[in-house]
A = this chain, B = another copy of it.
Amino acid sequence: MPGDRVVIVGAGFGGLAAARALKDQDVDVLVVDRNNFHTFQPLLYQVATAGLDPDDIAYNVRAILRRQANAGFRMATVLGVDWRSQRLLVDRGDPIDFDVLVIAAGATTDSFGVPGVDEHAFALKTLADSALLRSHLLSQFERADTDARAIDAGALTFAIVGGGPTGVELSGALSELVRHVLARDFPRLDVDRTRIVLIEATDHLLGAFSPQSQRHARKTLVSRGVEVLLETTVEQVTPDAVQLPGGRTLPACTVVWAAGVRAAPLAGALGLEQTRGGRVVVDADLRVPGRPEVFVIGDMAGAPAPGGGLQPQLAPVAIQQARHVAAQIDAVRRGSPTAPFEYHDPGTMATIGRNAAVAELGRFRFRGFLAWVMWLVLHLVQLIGFRNRASVLLDWAWNYVTYDRSARIIEMELLERRFPSALR
Give the B-binding residues of A (Cβ under 8 A): 34-37, 53-56, 58-60, 62-63, 66, 72, 74-76, 91-94, 127-128, 138-139, 142-143, 145-147, 184-188, 386-387, 390-391, 394-395, 398, 404, 406-414, 417, 423-424
Task: Verify A55–B146 contact, CB threshold 8 A.
Answer: no
Task: Verify B387–A55 contact, CB threshold 8 A.
Answer: no
Per a CB cutoff under 8 Å, which of B54, B72, B147, B410 touches A93? B147
In whole angstroms, how far apart are the Cα atoms of A333 and B128 in the complex?
49
Task: Verify B188–A128 contact, CB threshold 8 A.
Answer: no
Per a CB cutoff under 8 Å, which of B91, B92, B184, B188 touches A66? B184
In the A-B complex, the 9 residue pairs with the closest CB atoms: A55-B407, A93-B146, A53-B55, A62-B185, A60-B408, A75-B142, A387-B398, A36-B410, A128-B413
Shortest C-beta distance, A355 to chain B (Å), equals: 21
Contact A142 to B407, CB < 8 A, known contacts A147-B93, A387-B394, A390-B394:
no
Shortest C-beta distance, A317 to chain B (Å), equals: 26
In whole angstroms, how far apart are the Cα atoms of A59 and B404 in the complex?
12
User: Which residues on the B side are within 8 Å of A56 (C-beta)?
Assistant: 53
How many copies the complex holds: the figure is 2
Task: Verify A58–B409 contact, CB threshold 8 A.
Answer: yes
Task: Verify A35–B412 contact, CB threshold 8 A.
Answer: yes
Task: Verify A55–B423 contact, CB threshold 8 A.
Answer: no
Task: Verify A398–B410 contact, CB threshold 8 A.
Answer: no
In whole angstroms, how far apart are the Cα atoms of A186 and B75 in the complex?
12
Shortest C-beta distance, A422 to chain B (Å), equals: 10
Per a CB cutoff under 8 Å, which of B34, B55, B145, B412 touches A54? B55
User: Which residues on the B side are within 8 Å of A75 (C-beta)?
Assistant: 139, 142, 146, 410
User: Which residues on the B side are within 8 Å of A386 (C-beta)?
Assistant: 398
User: Which residues on the B side are within 8 Å of A408 (C-beta)?
Assistant: 36-37, 60, 62-63
User: Which residues on the B side are within 8 Å of A63 (C-beta)?
Assistant: 185, 404, 408
In whole angstroms, how far apart are the Cα atoms of A62 and B408 in the complex?
9
Shortest C-beta distance, A255 to chain B (Å), equals: 21
Shortest C-beta distance, A56 to chain B (Å), equals: 8
Kindly report which residue of chain B lies nearest to residue A56, judged by CB atoms.
Answer: B53
User: Which residues on the B side are within 8 Å of A188 (C-beta)?
Assistant: 72
Kindly report which residue of chain B lies nearest to residue A411, judged by CB atoms.
Answer: B128
Q: Which of A58, A60, A91, A395 has the most CB of B within 10 A?
A: A60
Additional 12 contacts, C-beta under 8 A, given A36-B142, A93-B146: A35-B412, A37-B408, A53-B54, A54-B409, A55-B406, A55-B409, A58-B409, A60-B185, A66-B184, A94-B147, A127-B409, A391-B391
Contact A36 to B409, CB < 8 A, known contacts A93-B146, A146-B74, A404-B387:
yes
5 examples of A-B residue contacts, CB within 8 angstroms: A53-B53, A66-B184, A75-B139, A75-B142, A391-B391
In whole angstroms, how far apart are the Cα atoms of A143 and B93 in the complex?
8
Q: Which of A55, A390, A408, A413 has the most CB of B within 10 A?
A: A55
